[in-house]
Amino acid sequence: MNFIKKLLSPRPNKDGDFFMQIKSLIDTAPSNLQLYEEALRHSSASLVDESGNSTNNERLEFLGDAILGAVVADFLYAYYPHKKEGFLSSMRAKIVSRSNINAMASALGLKDLLISNIRPGQEGKTALGNALEALIGAIYLDKGYAVAESFISKKLIKGLLDIHKLESIVISYKSLLLEWGQKNEKKVVFTRVSKPGTKQYTTSLSVEGFEVLTNSASSKKKAEESVSKLIYKKITSNS
């Protein structure tokens, strides 16, 4: 394997220890440890061969994200037999939100297993969550869909989430406001009023039948979300 150039330190555990850690993590004995090592290898610690091809967890993350979405959809469809599509879509978005995925990855201890060139405590907003999605991809390739489904539904959803608490969490007031406008046949119009190049984004929100509000934030998305929250709460408090 001399053609492999290691850009960062190797996996911090010997194969025996790593085998037991993965077995404890996924509740079954892994068959292909290389898949799990790849799942836990951040792009900053890519292995590069002499042709310039790199190995990290990005491909497995892509696969795991798709498996996660399918399993969550299946779980919610069975768990809420009488709920409509809009509710199910909202709940799926909450479960697979970046903050939720990051929190579950942290709870599983993936921070201690992550192979990266990131300084401790500076993993950012995506590294751990991406590793969890890549781990799901590795489980699927190594043990099949049934084991991946069991890991997601039992260890993640039932083991780490409070489904009923999630029901009351709002992940996007803008989406709620747009849905309300469509349902009640009211125009909802966002207008950017700040000048390009400024550090603050100011958004004006006009909702038919209600006052126009303006708010600023460090990004367009945050500005729209903050002003949406203000108006949505005004609307619902008056209804």
Instruction: List, in order of start, the domains of the chain with CATH numbers.
Output: 5-167 (1.10.1520.10), 173-238 (3.30.160.20)
Distances (CA, A) of 154 to 24, 33, 36, 148: 14, 22, 20, 10
Could you please report the per-residue DSSP string of the chain?
Answer: -TTPEE-S---SS-HHHHHHHHHHHHTS--S-HHHHHHHTB-GGG-EE-TTS-EE-SHHHHHHHHHHHHHHHHHHHHHH-TT--HHHHHHHHHHHTSHHHHHHHHHHTTHHHH-B-SSPTT--TTTHHHHHHHHHHHHHHHHH-HHHHHHIIIIIIIIHH--HHHHHT--S-HHHHHHHHHHHTT--EEEEE-SPTT-SSEEEEEEETTS--EEEEESSHHHHHHHHHHHHHHHHHHH-
Q: Look up 162 and say whether it is catalytic.
A: no
Report DSSP letters for 157-202, one per residue.
IIHH--HHHHHT--S-HHHHHHHHHHHTT--EEEEE-SPTT-SSEE
pLDDT by residue for the chain (239 residues), tens only, comes to 333 333 334 454 456 899 999 999 999 999 999 999 999 999 988 988 888 888 999 999 999 999 999 999 999 999 999 998 878 988 998 899 888 999 999 999 999 999 998 776 666 678 999 999 999 999 999 999 999 999 999 999 999 999 999 988 877 888 888 888 888 888 888 888 766 667 778 888 888 777 777 888 878 888 888 888 888 888 777 65
Active site residue 211: no
pTM summary value: 0.75
Residue type, 205: L
At residue 124, the pLDDT reads 65
Q: What is the pLDDT of residue 32?
A: 96
Q: Which of 38, 65, 149, 224 is catalytic?
A: 65
Q: What is the sign of the dihedral through the CA atoms of 97, 103, 107 and 109?
A: positive
Q: How many CB atoms sit inside 10 A of residue 17's CB?
A: 11
Residue 186, pLDDT score: 85
Q: What is residue 122's predicted lDDT score, i.e. its pLDDT?
A: 62
Out of 37, 133, 224, 225, which one is annotated catalytic?
A: 133
